[in-house]
Amino acid sequence: MIKKILPGISLLSIALPVTANPMIVAQSNCQATVNGVIREINRKGVTTVNQRVLQGTANENNYGNPTDRTDEISIVMGNHNSSNNERHRIADILYSAVLMNSWANTIVKECGSTAVVSFGLNFSGWNMSYAIQADGKTTPRDCREPGYSTRRLAWNEMYCT
């Protein structure tokens, strides 16, 4: 038996197919999508952007979720040191329902357990939420004044401040 050794080839350099855990891949795609939205916000002149994932909370304050998704993603812009210019940029974003709805749709498409995506101005109570619908797209929640109801709100409603 003759063994041949080929220069530059070793068993360590052979790439074997690796099957990735679908849950890890999905989480990675979700985080990459949220990071992409944050980069877009940064490009619009907002330097401080934080995200928060609330797992399993989407149905706590609202009833009628048309899906089995239960997570919420909150994207909060600015901080107590934000310049007036940055606050104006954040206001421009928060006044653009079309832009935020587009971002929310992008996020729920890649984040399979996300039911609600919110955008807000830190330290202000200014918040806009987009809730998933039966067709997998999001729609802005309607604003209800505090004290509107003593029970949970319908799926497409939120309290405004």
The interaxial angle of helices 84-94 and 97-110, nearest 10 deg, is: 70
Q: What is the mean pLDDT of residues 101-119?
A: 97
pLDDT value for 125: 83
The whole-chain average pLDDT of the chain stands at 86
pLDDT band for position 160 (50/70/90)? confident
Greater model confidence, 14 or 92: 92
Residue 1 lies in a domain: no
- Tally the domains of the chain: 1
Q: Which two structure tokens, joined as six digits, stand for 24? A: 């890890």
Query: Which of these, 139, 117, 25, lies nearest to 71 by C-alpha position?
Result: 117
- The residues with which 118 forms a beta bridge, in sequence order, are 74, 129
State pLDDT tens for residues 35-84: 999 999 999 999 999 999 999 999 999 999 999 999 999 999 999 889 99
Q: What is the mean pLDDT of residues 12-31?
A: 55
Residue 84 lies in a domain: yes
**Domain span at residue 152?**
23-28+47-159
Residue 8 lies in a domain: no
Residue 17 lies in a domain: no
Residue 3 lies in a domain: no
Instruction: Tell me: pLDDT of 4 over 50.
Output: no
